[in-house]
Amino acid sequence: MKVLRLVLPVLLMLNTPAIAVEFKGQNIDGQKLPARAYYYATGGVYKVKVRFHNKRATIYFDDGNQTTIQLNQQVITDSNNIEGFGRLGQYPLNRIFSVGLVFDNNWLGSSDNQLQQSNPLDGLWKISLE
């Protein structure tokens, strides 16, 4: 009976349907769409392609680089205001944790006056579908 209590929740989680990103009532997961991405940390606007999957968006840049962000909303109501969070070099695992490389100027051994303050908007993206 103890085994059933342990196995049953796992089976239910495996059978839970994936949450797809929707726009105008349509599932847009898996489609690579032309877009513009604004990165709040740098103020840069980039012509990109974006592919949605569950509650994530992968942004593909023209130079071949890409980054994956966690979307703030599952249902897109405004195609010019799709916000999400993800730092360059990071892949989000869930709403709290991500893995990857951290691109930072704070190397081991740097003194306090060399440390840069963190930008509160670092990691925030705004996508506009074209």
Per-residue pLDDT tens over the stretch 82-110: 999 987 666 566 655 656 555 554 444 44
**Is residue 91 domain-resident?**
yes
pTM to 2 decimals? Answer: 0.68
Count: domains in the chain: 1
With pLDDT > 90 as the criterion, what percentage of the chain qualifies?
Answer: 37
**Is residue 51 domain-resident?**
yes
Residues spanned by the domain of 95: 22-100+122-129
Per-residue pLDDT tens over the stretch 22-69: 888 889 999 999 999 999 988 999 999 999 998 999 999 999 888 899
Report phi then psi at 114, rounded to 5: -90, -15
Report the chain's terminal Cα–Cα distance, integer Å. Answer: 55
**What is the per-residue pLDDT for 110?**
47
**Is residue 63 domain-resident?**
yes
Alpha-carbon span 129 to 11, nearest angstrom: 37
Helix (H) or strand (E) holding 48: strand 44-53
* 16 DSSP assignment: S
